[in-house]
Amino acid sequence: MSVEWAGWGPELLLTIDRDSGVGLRSQLEAQLRDAIRSGRLAGDERLPSSRVLARVLGLSRGLVQDCYAQLQAEGYLTSRPGAPTRVAADAAPVRDAPSRPSPPSVPRQVIADFRHGVPDLGLAPREDWAWAIREVCRTAPNTAFDYGDPIGEQRLREVLAGYLRRVRAVAATSDHVVVCSGMAQALGLVLKVLAAEGVDTLAFEDPGAGNSTTEQATAAGMAVVPIPVDEDGLDVAALERSGARAVLVTPAHQWPTGVVLAGHRRQELIAWARRCDGVIIEDDYDAEFRYDREPVGSLQGLAPDCVVSLGTVSKSLAPALRLGWLVAPDRLLAALARAKFIADRGSPGLDQLALATLIESGRYDRHLRRARAEYAARRETLLTALAEHAPDLRVTGLAAGFHAVLHLPPGTDEDQLIEQARQRGVELYGMATMRRLPATEGPQLVLGFGDTPRRAIEAGIATIADLLGR
């Protein structure tokens, strides 16, 4: 598509060398020919008017008009009365289109996709977010449009600290909060700082997010070691034997088993950290969405001296916002602030102020209540469908979040079942891909329902009912 311009017309990079000994008109003609032949000027693209180009290059308008007339005679340019001069449509070189893979002849129909870790993108509060952005642009002082504090806007850090104290029992002030571009950056910053302090190994839960954790740790120059999870959460005795001095945990709702870190394990984990001068990295995963159990406070509130707590709005609002935070002990704050400055000088300031406005206005809590009700309804839909079509299979991990663990009959081949379901248009995901250690339980599926509508849940489970009953 050609580039259209208004007012003065397009700018065009041309140079005139008055000391070269070559005529000025010859120089101009040659440069325009080369620009068209090389494709730098596309077919039908508009050129500056002769008056504008003459003034920019310091030439007479008559010289530029003569140049345009010559190139028009040669077929490079076109012009008509009252219209701008343009590159002739067939003067620019024809470039070979890059080869593209052939699309599948028959698109596969997807009945249901039980992808996990993704919220309902349709529930994103677009009107509330637009309102918050408008409020910020209307009321923010001019200084809000500067680079800002690398660790985050003071207003958002104060709002977050207050919110986390109220909702998650976090023990922190705004000085302990660093605003990040999502959970991934928050974890990456913490690992880099710990690695610089001599921590060379990161422990993580198994099953868990082993692949992404390994990538982050490797980028920071750290080794990784998986630690088994049982019905009480992370096995602290196994952590002690590993020799690691940092561990990543999801205590509120373990990913992906869904178990809650038991009270005695919490105390054991904190004792481990203080014994070995270790650091607990708490991913406060799915804490906002709970259904039939009492809320579980943040681990950081029990031991703010040795826990770094990570949070994000990727699940509560939308992943596209790329906003998260970390709450860190005093001893790590200076290094984390420096690491954040080096990484990007700070997350988008206006978005930070919009999030603060959303929380202060009560609209954030209102959105969470709506989302929680919808996920609870989908949870019940999933349970009802499984009770009808696979009544003998156990379902766990449903006390919070928006995924469930379905325990398959012993001897079931996870990969084979997943492929057979896929042939029928149902996307499933197995637990085996999330393990590094030998499995202590039978085959399992992780059924996400965050971005799966209720009708799709019902249809999907009904479609694979015979596969689940084997």
pLDDT digits (tens, 9 = 90+) for 74-123: 899 998 888 888 999 887 675 655 556 655 555 568 999 999 988 999 99
pLDDT(205) > 70: yes
How far lies 267's CA from each of 141, 207, 302, 379, in Å?
46, 22, 9, 32
Q: What is the CATH number of the domain that holds 461?
A: 3.90.1150.10
Contact 295, 268 (CB under 8 A): no
Residues 357 and 413 in one domain: no
Residues 258 and 153 in one domain: yes
In this prediction, residues 266-275 reach a mean pLDDT of 97
Q: Structure tokens of 354?
A: 């919009």
Q: What does the pLDDT read at residue 94? A: 59
pLDDT(412) > 60: yes
Query: What residue spans of 247-286 are helical by DSSP H?
Result: 263-276
Q: What is the CATH number of the domain that holds 39?
A: 1.10.10.10
Q: What does the pLDDT read at residue 428? A: 96
Residues 186 and 216 in one domain: yes
pLDDT(376) > 80: yes
pLDDT(49) > 60: yes
Q: pLDDT tens for residues 296-310?
A: 889 999 999 999 999
Specify if 106 maps to a domain.
Answer: no
Q: Structure tokens of 370?
A: 């709506």
Residues 166 and 257 in one domain: yes
- CA-nearest of 256, 213, 207 to 235 is 207
pLDDT classification of 13: cutoffs 50, 70, 90: confident
Q: What does the pLDDT read at residue 321? A: 94
Q: What does the pLDDT read at residue 308? A: 97
Q: What does the pLDDT read at residue 5? A: 39
Contact 265, 233 (CB under 8 A): yes
Residues 357 and 375 in one domain: no
Specify if 30 maps to a domain.
Answer: yes
Q: pLDDT tens for residues 232-263?
A: 999 999 999 999 999 999 998 898 998 999 99
Specify if 272 maps to a domain.
Answer: yes
Residues 185 and 315 in one domain: yes
Query: How remote is the C-alpha of 344 from its chain's centroid?
Result: 16
pLDDT(293) > 80: no
Contact 248, 299 (CB under 8 A): no
Q: What does the pLDDT read at residue 80? A: 86
Residue % of the chain over a pLDDT of 70: 93
Provide the domain limits for residue 20: 1-100
Q: What does the pLDDT read at residue 95? A: 60
Rg (alpha carbons) of the chain, rounded to whole number: 30
In this prediction, residues 170-182 reach a mean pLDDT of 95
The mean predicted confidence, pLDDT, of the chain is 90
Q: What is the pTM of this model?
A: 0.82
pLDDT(278) > 90: yes
Q: What does the pLDDT read at residue 96? A: 57
The residue among 96 and 288 whose pLDDT is bigger is 288
Q: What does the pLDDT read at residue 2? A: 39
Q: What is the CATH number of the domain that holds 282?
A: 3.40.640.10
d(CA 450, CA 116): 7
Q: What does the pLDDT read at residue 4? A: 39
Domain count, the chain: 3
Residues 457 and 407 in one domain: yes
Residues 431 and 332 in one domain: no
- Dihedral angle sign, alpha carbons of residues 230, 296, 299, 404: positive
In this prediction, residues 171-184 reach a mean pLDDT of 95
pLDDT(10) > 90: no
Q: What does the pLDDT read at residue 226? A: 96
Q: What does the pLDDT read at residue 8? A: 44
